[in-house]
Amino acid sequence: MRKQIAAANWKMNCTYQEGEALLTGILDNESLKGEHQQVIFAVPALYISMALEKTKGKDRNYIAAQNCHHKSSGAYTGEISASMLRSMGVPYCIIGHSERREYFHETDEMLAEKTNLLLKEGITPVFCCGEPLQIREKEGQNDYVAIQLKNALFHLSAEEISKIIIAYEPIWAIGTGKTATAEQAQQMHRHIRNTLAKQYSPTVADSISILYGGSVKPDNAAEIFGQPDVDGGLVGGASLSVDDFTAVIKALK
């Protein structure tokens, strides 16, 4: 069975003390049911050392960076490289989140560079893709997402892409309170898997975990995660509550 993953994206939230208490509370309360399930905490960069220490010895609980730079090193004040993350023992890194694309003008070409650097360092990219509202309203979401995958990932070998986690995030459902229906989530996840199968093979496509990211909450997580091609969620707001994120974790297949 593919890995079923509850990934928390804290974004720019929580003081150090609040983050430490939040992580402690979740680790004390979560209960993963099977070896195929795991939890990933994408914490602010300043908190990575603390989070790595707290998850030490906690089976199937991992830490992710929320981003890395698309160059390996250089005069990029304030940025973080993939090799820096590797040197700290960070196993995962989110790239291509819609907020990074929109606010920081990240392109598919930049994301291809980030993907290469992370894989070179042995870090698993959590690659985000998804369409804005105007594309969805024109029913152009399938082509839009397929182009994102093609431009940023399809230079990879079958072995390389098998190491990636994909997170589908309908941009119109992030932080808006709107959520794609379970059927809409399944349709896009199936489309992503079919696109991967066409480029690589059905075997490769079936091995890749695809997460849903878009206002996942305790009251909708089980229905969304229950879809055959949905392998968990990339969770924003609900990951900032011990009770809410614990409930989301328990909703994993």
Check: pTM over 0.85? Answer yes or no. yes
pLDDT along the chain (253 residues), means of 10: 96 98 94 91 98 96 98 98 98 97 96 98 98 91 98 98 97 74 95 98 98 93 97 97 97 96
What CATH number belongs to 4-250? 3.20.20.70
CA distances from 92 to 44, 65, 89, 129 (A): 13, 6, 9, 17
Cβ proximity of 40 and 62 under 8 Å: yes
pLDDT for res 150 = 98
Interatomic CA distance for residues 15 and 59, integer angstroms: 26
pLDDT for res 54 = 97
124: nearest Cα among 82, 155, 157, 84 = 82
pLDDT for res 177 = 66
164: nearest Cα among 202, 199, 122, 198 = 122
- Per-domain residue ranges of the chain: 4-250
Q: Which are the catalytic amino acids?
A: 97, 169
